[in-house]
Structures are given as structure tokens and as C-alpha cells.
């Protein structure tokens, strides 16, 4: 694979900085890297392969000579600048929700539907899915291949890093205040997050679900290419810094035993089975943090339906749920299409 000129838009954010780190860790062939952010970050320096790279202002002229543009600058900025990047000849891999449901934009998890990358030529944009959706479909794909999935019920327990650095800082501050006996203040979330669970991620819609929940419904159907699958999601914010956890109930058209599921998942790309509950071994958020694998355990029969399984899925939302998935897409793009 040849070397590429790469831009990272939103480079100073948590996901942007992790994208830079993952590019280096995976030794992606970068010829030149351009770090882009808002005007207030211009001049700040970030390290890449031992070199300090100054941050430049993100604008419509930022992408001349760029082959691949990794976007983590938010939906509004993506809608504004991603078309300019594509027009300049770059292929955009966008981490926001802005392009995910566009029928002309592939929505890709490499372990699940890498073939969809070929359709990047429609608009020059590839969408990175929602973090919670990514880890779920990585596990469900090999099971779906064995026994067609009819219905999914998922409840998520999502880390505050999914909201960004301001939420991490708020949780830290609330814990310190509680330990010191001081009042706990909340600005990021409508209620305090320390020692609490909030069944509220993103805004509520008229149907009573949140945008986050409907993302999981719609994105799962598009990525797994099963538009008729029934999906019901409840998304909850919990006082954990990194890694999202999910309880997933799956109903299949045919029979699949927990033992068969474990064997399939042991050989599945990007998946690690951690499943020995009698010895207190199951996926934990603290173990997944900083890792790129998706962990699955507590695989058992769903007692409420004939062909059902229940499982517990955990992954780092900043890495596999965002930055690493984007770089994996870039790797396939570079190897097969550019």
C-alpha cells in the first residue's frame, strides 16, 4: 500500500487525538498529515511519530492534496466541510451522524460490511457508525450468518466520554465534591451523573425514544443489510469514564445454542469471548478501555423465546466505537480502492 496524505478534522478533540494515535499505532502509511480544528485551536501542536505538528484552521480550502480526510469535528461542521474535502479529491471518513442514513453514503463496520466501502465514489464520503451500534453489530454479524436475526432488544450503559471531555471533567468534579462533602454541580447533563444512571442520551423524539436509540435502530438495519429486522433500544448514561456496555437479547429465525454462539464468536474478527461467569469472568468496561477488541460474555439462552440468546457486550467507545473503526476503514480504502 502506498503512502497517503491524511487530514484529521477535529484533531484536538478526544476522538481526533485518538485517531492520530491509532494512525501511528497501526503504522498507517502516512506521507503527510494535516491537523485541522476550529480557529481557537490554531497553532496548538500535537505529536505524531515524535514530531510536533501545528494545528491549522479547518476551512473549505484545507484539503488540497489530501487523499483521506478523517472527520471528527461534529455534525454541523461535517455537513459544511466534508463536501469541500470530497470536491478537492479526498475521501472523507466521517465520525458524526450527519451522513449515516444518506442512501448514497456507505455506513461501514469493517468486520461486518467492508464491501460497502466500494460505494464511496457516490459522494466521496464514508460514514462511521454510532459507537454503540458498532460494538453490537461486530458481535451479531457472525451469529446472523449462522441463524437469521429477526429481533434485537438492546439496553446500553454508556460512558461519559461519549459526550466529550466536558462530561469527563464534570464526573470527576462531582466525585471530588462528593468526597469532600461539597454540593455537586451539573451543567453537561440535566441531572448529576456521579453515582447515578440517566436513561437519556441525546434529545427525545415524538415517539418517546431518543435520537441515540433510533440511531441504533436505523444504523443496525443499514449496516447488517436486514431492513426488516426489529430493533428496540434503551440507551443509558452511566458514571463510567470509558467503554460502553450493552445487554443484548437476540431472537433468531433458527436454533442456535449458547455453545454454538461461543464457538462462532471465538473465530470472529475483532471479537474476544470472555465468558466464565462461575469464576467471575465476563466483560468489564475497565478491561475494554484502551483496547480495540469488542468483548462478549454471559452468552446464554433467552428464556422468553424459543430461538433466543442473551449476551453482554463491551467495547471502548473512543477507540473501536470511533477512531479505530475509522482508521480500519482507511486501511481497506487504501489497500483496495485508492
pLDDT tens digits, residue range 311-329?
Answer: 999 999 999 999 999 999 9
Question: From its phi and psi, is residue 23 left (phi > 0), alpha (psi between -120 and 50) or beta?
Answer: alpha
Share above pLDDT 90 across residues of the chain, in percent, rounded to a whole number: 99
What CATH number has the domain bearing residue 155?
Answer: 3.30.360.10
Question: Can you give the pLDDT at residue 274?
Answer: 98
Domain count, the chain: 2
Spatial distance between the Cα atoms of 319 and 18, rounded to a whole number of angstroms: 7
One domain for residues 98 and 188: no
One domain for residues 103 and 235: no
One domain for residues 194 and 305: yes
One domain for residues 174 and 238: yes
Residue 86 has pLDDT above 90, yes or no: yes
| Catalytic-residue membership of 244 | yes
pLDDT tens digits, residue range 113-144?
Answer: 999 999 999 999 999 999 999 999 999 999 99
pLDDT tens digits, residue range 271-301?
Answer: 999 999 999 999 999 999 999 999 999 999 9
pLDDT tens digits, residue range 37-59?
Answer: 999 999 899 999 999 999 999 99
One domain for residues 16 and 161: no
Please tell me which residue in 131, 144, 191, 200 is annotated as part of the active site: 131
One domain for residues 123 and 199: no
One domain for residues 82 and 137: no
Residue 238 has pLDDT above 90, yes or no: yes
Structural domain boundaries enclosing 159: 132-317
One domain for residues 182 and 93: no
Question: From its phi and psi, is residue 89 left (phi > 0), alpha (psi between -120 and 50) or beta?
Answer: left
Question: Can you give the pLDDT at residue 308?
Answer: 98
Question: Can you give the pLDDT at residue 30?
Answer: 98
| Catalytic-residue membership of 131 | yes
How confident is the model over 99-103, as a mean pLDDT?
Answer: 98
CB–CB of 253/291 below 8 Å? no
pTM for this prediction: 0.96
Residue 259 has pLDDT above 90, yes or no: yes
Question: Can you give the pLDDT at residue 73?
Answer: 87
One domain for residues 249 and 116: no
Q: Predicted confidence band at 1 (pLDDT cuts at 50, 70, 90)?
A: confident
What CATH number has the domain bearing residue 82?
Answer: 3.40.50.720
Please tell me which residue in 191, 200, 244, 305 is annotated as part of the active site: 244
One domain for residues 173 and 191: yes
One domain for residues 146 and 294: yes
One domain for residues 228 and 332: no
| Cα radius of gyration (the chain) | 20
Proportion of the chain in helix, strand, coil states, percent, rounded to 5: 35, 25, 40
Burial class (CB in 10 A: 0-12, 13-18, 19+), 310: middle
φ and ψ of 230, to 5 deg:
-90, 125
* H helix runs in the chain, sequence order: 14-25, 75-87, 110-113, 131-146, 165-180, 211-224, 258-266, 285-288, 324-336
Question: Can you give the pLDDT at residue 242?
Answer: 98
Question: Can you give the pLDDT at residue 117?
Answer: 98
Question: Can you give the pLDDT at residue 297?
Answer: 98
Average pLDDT of the residues of the chain? 97
pLDDT tens digits, residue range 5-37?
Answer: 999 999 999 999 999 999 999 999 999 999 999
Residue 256 has pLDDT above 90, yes or no: yes
Amino acid at each position: 500500500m502506498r503512502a497517503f496524505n491524511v487530514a484529521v478534522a477535529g484533531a484536538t478533540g478526544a476522538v481526533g487525538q485518538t485517531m492520530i494515535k491509532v494512525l501511528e499505532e497501526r503504522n498507517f502509511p502516512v506521507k503527510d498529515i494535516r491537523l485541522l480544528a476550529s480557529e481557537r485551536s490554531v497553532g496548538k501542536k500535537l505529536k505524531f511519530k515524535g514530531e510536533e505538528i501545528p494545528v491549522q484552521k479547518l476551512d473549505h480550502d484545507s484539503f488540497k492534496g489530501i487523499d483521506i480526510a478523517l472527520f471528527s469535528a461534529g455534525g454541523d461542521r461535517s455537513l459544511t466541510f466534508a463536501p469541500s474535502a470530497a470536491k478537492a479529491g479526498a475521501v472523507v471518513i466521517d465520525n458524526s451522524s450527519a451522513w449515516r442514513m444518506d442512501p448514497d453514503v456507505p455506513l461501514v463496520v469493517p468486520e461486518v460490511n467492508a464491501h460497502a466501502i466500494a460505494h464511496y465514489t457516490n459522494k466521496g464520503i464514508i460514514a462511521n457508525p454510532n459507537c454503540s451500534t458498532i460494538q453490537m453489530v461486530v458481535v451479531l454479524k457472525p451469529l446472523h450468518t449462522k441463524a437469521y436475526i429477526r429481533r434485537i432488544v438492546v439496553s446500553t450503559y454508556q460512558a461519559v466520554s461519549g459526550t466529550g471531555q466536558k462530561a469527563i471533567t464534570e464526573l470527576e468534579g462531582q466525585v471530588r465534591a462528593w468526597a469532600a462533602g461539597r454540593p455537586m454541580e451539573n451543567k453537561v447533563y440535566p441531572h448529576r451523573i456521579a453515582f447515578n444512571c440517566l436513561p437519556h442520551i441525546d434529545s427525545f423524539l415524538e415517539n418517546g425514544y431518543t435520537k441515540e436509540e433510533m440511531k441504533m435502530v436505523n444504523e443496525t438495519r443499514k449496516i447488517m443489510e436486514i431492513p426488516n429486522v426489529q430493533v428496540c433500544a434503551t440507551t443509558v448514561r452511566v458514571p463510567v469514564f470509558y467503554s460502553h456496555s450493552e445487554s443484548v437479547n437476540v431472537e433468531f429465525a433458527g436454533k442456535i445454542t449458547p455453545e454454538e454462539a461461543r464457538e462462532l464468536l471465538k473465530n470472529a474478527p475483532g471479537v474476544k469471548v470472555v465468558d466464565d461467569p462461575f469464576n467471575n469472568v465476563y466483560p468489564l468496561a475497565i478491561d475494554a478501555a484502551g483496547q480495540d477488541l469488542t468483548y462478549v460474555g454471559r452468552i446464554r439462552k433467552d428464556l422468553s423465546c424459543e430461538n433466543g440468546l442473551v449476551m453482554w457486550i463491551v467495547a471502548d467507545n473512543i477507540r473501536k466505537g470511533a477512531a479505530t473503526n475509522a482508521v480500519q476503514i482507511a486501511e481497506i480504502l487504501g489497500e483496495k480502492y485508492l
